[in-house]
Amino acid sequence: MKNDPPLMIDLFAGAGGLSLGFKNAGFKVICAIEIDDWACDTYEKNHVGVKVIRKDISQIPDGFFLKFKNISVIAGGPPCQGFSIAASNRRKKNDKRNSLYKEFLRVVKLVQPKVVLIENVKELEKFKNEHGKKILDDIYETLSVQGYSVKHYLLNAKDFGVPQNRTRFFLIAAKHALPELTSKKKNFKHLTLWQAISDLPEVKPWEHNENDVFNYNCEPNNLYQKMMRTGTKKVYNHISMRHTERLIKRFEHIRLIQNNNCVGGDFAPRKRGNPDAVSNKHYSQNHRRLIPDEPSPTITASFYSSFIHPYQNRNLTVREASRLQSFPDTYVFCGKRTTLSKKLLAKKGIHEDIHLDQFNQVGNAVPPLLAEYLAKKIMHSFGVQ
């Protein structure tokens, strides 16, 4: 029917930030594909009615996708760990995740959607595939041959109402008018970290159980907080990490005015596996006191050890980070809050926990507000106001 909403499929869907943005813009998300079980649990809890395929996309046959022929939009973010600079010491040219963008292109070729949207880390512009060809050139050529006009952008989430300094790569391809993505509006004022999270209840290490739910203890202080709280009177996923007493004392010495983590003496960092020995290594990305009157630094998959609350002596909670990603407070994250590294879990034989924990899910997501902006631009290109 003429007034039916345009349809969208989300590949590599994760916890569903991209889907949420498209849903809020008026699209109907009909299918999501994600390999990780905990991320799928989160997606299904927050996107009731969407068909979620819990499978490696490379194992899904062509026939499955043919039933979506000529759908409005295929969107998604192929895993970026092989391209990201966040862990460049672990980056490998033969990382199998580097070729998953080809699976995305396989689905596009089968379905021939009207619009294609790819999200990734900004470093995607630079990297080459196993044949020495720039991945970006491969994407452009593959889509152009199929009749798409193609353009890519580097967009910073803070320019679109997200309280976070987060620059990401977005490629858009269309068979009709190509949506034009612009940067921030003239005189746009960035939202700060404290404007985003200051209304959330104070929590302390060891004082709460994992599944505790809180009531708000104040009114929202601004329109962003009011928007985040719409639809719920409860605060979920707001449990502090269980820091040791020594680490809490260390946090006390990392002052906002210093804004660094170079603490010596009794509170100097210790060697991994030997808490009695002082480490000579300095990790500049760990335990930074956040500045309240600026947008947050980039929330990454391992952000739980990266940032200290601006006023409380603890790392951020999942809820605080999800606020900085623009997830509403109604959005509940599933799975364990945090786990050991996958390498350590495998070494210990704890295979049931080798999934994306809540911190990973939040850090990997596309901010829903930015996704909504992109979706509205695409919707407008269809002639829908």
- pLDDT of 184 reads 58
Mean pLDDT (whole number) for 328-342: 86
On whether the CB atoms of residues 319 and 213 are closer than 8 A, the answer is no
> Which helix (H) or strand (E) is 291 found in, with range?
none
If you average pLDDT over residues 121-142, what whole number do you get?
88
Cβ neighbour number for residue 313 with a 10 Å cutoff: 19
Positions of CATH 3.40.50.150 in the chain: 7-187+366-381
Among 167, 163, 194, smallest CA distance to 291 is for 194
- Residue 129: pLDDT band with limits 50, 70, 90: confident
Residue located via tokens 């999934």 = 355
Q: What distances in angstroms separate CA 181 from CA 173, 184, 195, 349, 369, one per listed residue? A: 12, 10, 26, 46, 14
Largest CA distance in the chain: 70
Q: Which of 80, 218, 262, 334 is catalytic?
A: 80
First to last CA, the chain: 17
- Cα 41 to Cα 335: distance, rounded to the nearest angstrom: 7
Which residue intervals of the chain bear CATH 3.90.120? 193-364
Homologous superfamily, domain 7-187+366-381: Vaccinia Virus protein VP39 (3.40.50.150)
Of the listed ranges 170-174, 215-219, 344-348, the one predicted with least confidence: 344-348
Tell me which architecture the domain covering 193-364 has in CATH. Answer: Alpha-Beta Complex (3.90)
Active site annotation includes 80: yes
pLDDT classification of 270: cutoffs 50, 70, 90: very low
Distance CA(154)–CA(129), nearest Å, equals 21
Q: In whole angstroms, give the CA distance from residue 328 to residue 259.
A: 29
CA distances from 122 to 34, 197, 215, 216, 368 (A): 22, 27, 38, 37, 18
Could you give the angle at the alpha carbon of 224 between the alpha carbons of 222 and 228, nearest 5°? 120
**Does the pLDDT of residue 67 top 90, yes or no?**
yes
Write down the pTM of the prediction: 0.87
Element at 215 (helix H, strand E): strand 214-215
DSSP 274: E
Q: How confident is the model at residue 251 (pLDDT cuts 50, 70, 90)?
A: confident
